A and B are shown apart, each in its own frame.
Chain A
């Protein structure tokens, strides 16, 4: 009995500590430190043993013991159910993009997966998950005889920040501008990064707009210098340039080429010693049954299929996705003996149809920057809100210049004509309660030199990183362990209902089709909040969703297999019956207890 009190209280104390840990460091830390640990299971086990003993020492049970015994049996059954769930249950999630099918369940254990390009070589490593930030050799990934990658830094709560660096390769990269804006009240520093060289970058600050573009020709520069047109070039550019869906950028033999997709679709285009032709342009590409198909004319996931012919006549087929430049692009169809050392990327300029919202029509003051066509010079001019244009002038770095509105001054602190941006995780300074922040790890190479260089590379959770060495290319993916179900779920439609008059989601549901090829069953179902789908022993719940402008919605289902469920329900029921019997159906028992207390 005393042991019972002690184990109850110690469990309560441990749990209390766990919740504070969760509040301070997030659910993952609490799971790693407390709930997921063996000793915690041990504590529960002690409690269980205790309960069992409490019931057994009262053998032979008398009538007045029934309530007591039933209650404790209930608790044991619940604990057994919990054990079954822990041991044999599955608890994961399944994100499905609208229009796609999915049979993978994402589990919570972290995993590193290494794939070798152009081979079926694929290895998975489960990751020791440190609770706190850890440096030093955490694990080794052996990619080849002499090629070893080392995980040497782990951040449990990472914030991915973009840093801007000069490009290591000449002629590769984009314009970047670090701007300080200040007046008496205000001081802001911003990087303007021309991630879309064709469209430039714009940045709104109160009543002002700052626009940074690049000239592609002397013509563009001349236009910038003529003060006649007060509308910036940027706004004149129509959303849809006729015929142009974007460009293919090709790096080959140290040179960079920019080839119009429209042109590529109609003819073979020469680029250095290579000839290229576009087979298909898919504005809304989707992979269905291992085939690349187009689903609409909206440029939601633009892709292009390119045939590349080398001078020796060998041909390669590449598929480029504008939104996923890091995907391996080679997709079979290689007729030559060895892979061409070319790098292809697609840049889409097509824009989704602007939706019919009202446009902002307030007049803004504008500050325009132009990077010259040869990327040697940077110019600026200002346009006041009533359309007055100042003369274009070259920039002098580090000098405060007036903008002409709001007493605002600007100062170009840095200008990198060819910059690259690098996503670099750092430890979060403040952990947002309730937010499951993603982790990140750092890899570097040991032994043989790789293109990681001496600095190595960060991989945020859910991202991959390519590593090349000795002519081989590997993809290192840091994500969660997966479970492949014997059937797939196809998301036909995802619907969000909002509270009237607001953007707040009031309900969401997924219209799905279960496709079980092994059993030859297809079955349609609707999964919504509180209305799960049961199939094949698994239960699918509507958990959450992700939407992003211009992309198909992603519905996140939580997937669950719980062999302990029946025990938990039964145990709960038994326990409640027991408590009721103990307290209310046996008044004599109570009187006796009270009587004993009075004597004490």
Chain B
């Protein structure tokens, strides 16, 4: 008999179907419960955040933390959540197809359930296309997303997804909703005790009893740890991840980078060295937090940060600041640090705020990426080159700004051009080395050094255009303004290799980083960049004398 279902039905008394905030509840014991999900053991806290992110598109709901929503879904789904409009659907065409109100952004489970036949007929068409291996339309991909949202909620509410019992007989943990009291791998008195604590959790949750909940949560997590035995993840490891989730180190580091940037700008404007020192302190703090977050993430995931777009953005932002420090040591110019802080702020803000494009959650690796030394070396080298190119891009734009606003300060322009050139050189070497290392890895892993795969090809294109610029400069074709402009434009090839292949082309063997979204941002950037170059050119060519 599945006790879980009975317990949860018993908590159905007096429902109104809307979410209720529980003040005074302590979630800490509950959020440290380990759960097996998507091939990883993670704390409830992470699971709750990821689930709410998928369902509602954010990590809290009307001020309720994700963990509270998760508890609500488990213990009071029908009572508090069935009528709550919290499932986010963005695609207007899909809303029309499902018979939903177009102006709404969020929908309730019961509302969507009433439209199940419409969704089902869409899914049937999708299944047919999958069978034929035909491409899916955007509408169909969105329909799959809705299906995933509903499926996840259903699996949580029914306890099927709540795999929190380590299985003594295998690697697959047992879901609480599938645990059968009379036929389980655990001693029956323990199972009875487990359900007792679960019942207490459920009733204390319903009764809004914060103290009773806290005690029940401690008892419940205690018995799970007992059932799990020595294989159960240590509190320390679970807490590290909860700490990482809660602290959001990358948010803090972009804030500090932002402060640093403002202080540097201030120092350039008023010429105050105090402001420059304060900026130095801020950027160092930002960098330390950035590094700390990064190390924490590596420790939590147990692997180098080489697997998805989110991690690569974080890494590239970090690398840009690192290269700026290196160049600063040589040239002692604050503008280097200011430029890198701009790049890092933009990168980290994007990473922090676009979870649907840059997915921050940790997933198990694709088989081909596992335990591979060459992979880590190859990806980190390539992405480091992006960092150097990013720095050269910002410096290039600073030079263009000078052409636009202070065209007569040729001395500072040629100084800045030199810094840009230095960053570009670092980038070229790293990109050449990284591309070759990619070949080495591909040879080792796939059996061919080079296969004209789009990601390889775009890395090569980026390398070729930067080489063309360096050769053009060497030949005397490109100098001054032209050289700077060409360098800035070359970054578009990097963007294509970095973002475009995965998000625009979406083909090839580097499929593990594929995603969608974010294109308007990139296009917006390109338009601005070209406009800026155009303005600087007009000024440089002497079309107008002053601004």
Chain A residues within 8 Å of B, Cβ to Cβ:
1-2, 4-5, 8-9, 11-12, 15-16, 18-20, 22-23, 26-27, 30-31, 35, 81-82, 85, 91, 159-161, 183, 185-188, 206, 406, 428-435, 437, 498-502, 504-508, 529-530, 532, 539, 541, 543, 558-560, 562, 564-565, 568-569, 572, 575-576, 579-580, 583, 593-594, 597-598, 600
Interchain CB contact under 8 A, A583 and B429: yes
The CA-CA distance from A562 to B371 in the complex, in Å, is 25
A19 nearest in chain B by CB position: B454
Q: Is the interface of B mostly helix, strand, loop or mixed?
A: helix
Provide the residues of chain B in CB contact with A505, threshold 8 Å.
Answer: 367
- B187 touches A (CB below 8 Å): no
B interface size (C-beta, 8 A): 75
Of residues 454 through 503 on chain B, the ones whose CB sits less than 8 Å from some CB of chain A are: 454, 457-458, 460-461, 464-465, 467-468, 471-477, 479-480, 493, 496, 501
Interchain CB contact under 8 A, A598 and B457: no
Among B17-25, B36-44, B196-204, B341-349, the stretch that binds chain A is B36-44
B464 nearest in chain A by CB position: A12
Provide the residues of chain A in CB contact with B132, threshold 8 Å.
Answer: 159-161, 428
The CA-CA distance from A370 to B99 in the complex, in Å, is 37
Interchain CB contact under 8 A, A530 and B372: yes
Provide the residues of chain B in CB contact with A435, threshold 8 Å.
Answer: 133, 135
B445 nearest in chain A by CB position: A530
A and B contact pairs by CB, cutoff 8 A, 12 listed:
A2-B477, A9-B464, A9-B468, A22-B454, A27-B507, A159-B134, A429-B134, A434-B511, A504-B39, A529-B445, A541-B447, A565-B443
Given contacts A8-B465, A500-B172, 4 further A-B contacts (CB under 8 A): A4-B475, A502-B38, A580-B429, A598-B414
Give the Cβ gap from A226 to chain B, nearest Cβ, in Å: 33
Provide the residues of chain A in CB contact with B508, threshold 8 Å.
Answer: 22, 27, 434
Provide the residues of chain A in CB contact with B36, threshold 8 Å.
Answer: 500-501
Interchain CB contact under 8 A, A20 and B505: yes
The CA-CA distance from A188 to B135 in the complex, in Å, is 21
**A185 with B511: in contact, given A18-B452, A18-B457, A159-B134 (CB under 8 Å)?**
no
Interchain CB contact under 8 A, A23 and B454: yes
Within the complex, which residue of B37, B120, B450 is in contact with A82, where a contact is CB–CB below 8 Å? B450
The CA-CA distance from A429 to B137 in the complex, in Å, is 11
- B368 touches A (CB below 8 Å): yes
Give the Cβ gap from A44 to chain B, nearest Cβ, in Å: 11
Interchain CB contact under 8 A, A529 and B368: yes
Provide the residues of chain A in CB contact with B443, threshold 8 Å.
Answer: 562, 565, 568
Give the Cβ gap from A535 to chain B, nearest Cβ, in Å: 13
Interchain CB contact under 8 A, B479 and A19: no
Interchain CB contact under 8 A, A569 and B440: yes
Interchain CB contact under 8 A, A437 and B448: no
The CA-CA distance from A572 to B320 in the complex, in Å, is 26
Give the Cβ gap from A339 to chain B, nearest Cβ, in Å: 38
- B546 touches A (CB below 8 Å): no
Q: Is the interface of A mostly helix, strand, loop or mixed?
A: mixed
Provide the residues of chain B in CB contact with A18, threshold 8 Å.
Answer: 452, 457
- B432 touches A (CB below 8 Å): yes
Interchain CB contact under 8 A, B133 and A159: yes
Interchain CB contact under 8 A, A206 and B454: no
**A506 with B39: in contact, given A15-B461, A159-B134, A530-B368 (CB under 8 Å)?**
yes
- B370 touches A (CB below 8 Å): yes
Interchain CB contact under 8 A, A583 and B425: yes
Interchain CB contact under 8 A, A206 and B117: yes
Provide the residues of chain A in CB contact with B461, threshold 8 Å.
Answer: 12, 15-16
Provide the residues of chain B in CB contact with A530, threshold 8 Å.
Answer: 368, 370-372, 444-445
**A506 with B135: in contact, given A434-B511, A532-B447 (CB under 8 Å)?**
no
The CA-CA distance from A529 to B365 in the complex, in Å, is 13
Interchain CB contact under 8 A, B457 and A428: no
Provide the residues of chain B in CB contact with A91, threshold 8 Å.
Answer: 447-448
Provide the residues of chain A in CB contact with B507, threshold 8 Å.
Answer: 19, 22-23, 26-27, 433-434
Of residues 136 through 169 on chain B, the ones whose CB sits less than 8 Å from some CB of chain A are: 136-137, 163
Provide the residues of chain A in CB contact with B458, threshold 8 Å.
Answer: 15-16, 19
The CA-CA distance from A575 to B463 in the complex, in Å, is 14
The CA-CA distance from A15 to B460 in the complex, in Å, is 9
A567 nearest in chain B by CB position: B449
**A19 with B364: in contact, given A437-B133, A532-B447, A539-B447 (CB under 8 Å)?**
no
- B121 touches A (CB below 8 Å): yes
Provide the residues of chain B in CB contact with A580, threshold 8 Å.
Answer: 429
Within the complex, which residue of B134, B367, B511 is in contact with A506, where a contact is CB–CB below 8 Å? B367
Give the Cβ gap from A90 to chain B, nearest Cβ, in Å: 10
The CA-CA distance from A575 to B452 in the complex, in Å, is 20
Interchain CB contact under 8 A, A575 and B39: no
Provide the residues of chain A in CB contact with B473, threshold 8 Å.
Answer: 597
From B37, B443, B507, residue with most partner A Cβ within 10 Å? B507
The CA-CA distance from A565 to B372 in the complex, in Å, is 20
Interchain CB contact under 8 A, B39 and A500: yes
Within the complex, which residue of B368, B433, B448 is in contact with A562, where a contact is CB–CB below 8 Å? B448
Give the Cβ gap from B461 to chain A, nearest Cβ, in Å: 5
A35 nearest in chain B by CB position: B452
Interchain CB contact under 8 A, B173 and A500: yes
Interchain CB contact under 8 A, B173 and A575: no
Provide the residues of chain A in CB contact with B511, threshold 8 Å.
Answer: 434
Provide the residues of chain A in CB contact with B477, threshold 8 Å.
Answer: 2, 5
**A507 with B468: in contact, given A186-B118, A187-B121 (CB under 8 Å)?**
no
**A185 with B118: in contact, given A5-B471, A500-B173, A560-B448 (CB under 8 Å)?**
yes
Within the complex, which residue of B134, B432, B449, B501 is in contact with A430, where a contact is CB–CB below 8 Å? B134
Give B416-436 as 1s and 0s: 1 = Cβ < 8 Å from A's Cβ atoms: 001000000100110011001
Provide the residues of chain A in CB contact with B480, threshold 8 Å.
Answer: 600
Interchain CB contact under 8 A, A504 and B464: no
Give the Cβ gap from A16 to chain B, nearest Cβ, in Å: 6
Provide the residues of chain A in CB contact with B471, threshold 8 Å.
Answer: 1, 4-5, 8
Interchain CB contact under 8 A, A85 and B133: no
Give B314-340 as 1s and 0s: 1 = Cβ < 8 Å from A's Cβ atoms: 000000000000000000000000000
Interchain CB contact under 8 A, B444 and A579: no
Give the Cβ gap from A13 to chain B, nearest Cβ, in Å: 9
4 tightest A-B CB contacts, nearest first: A499-B39, A430-B135, A500-B171, A560-B447
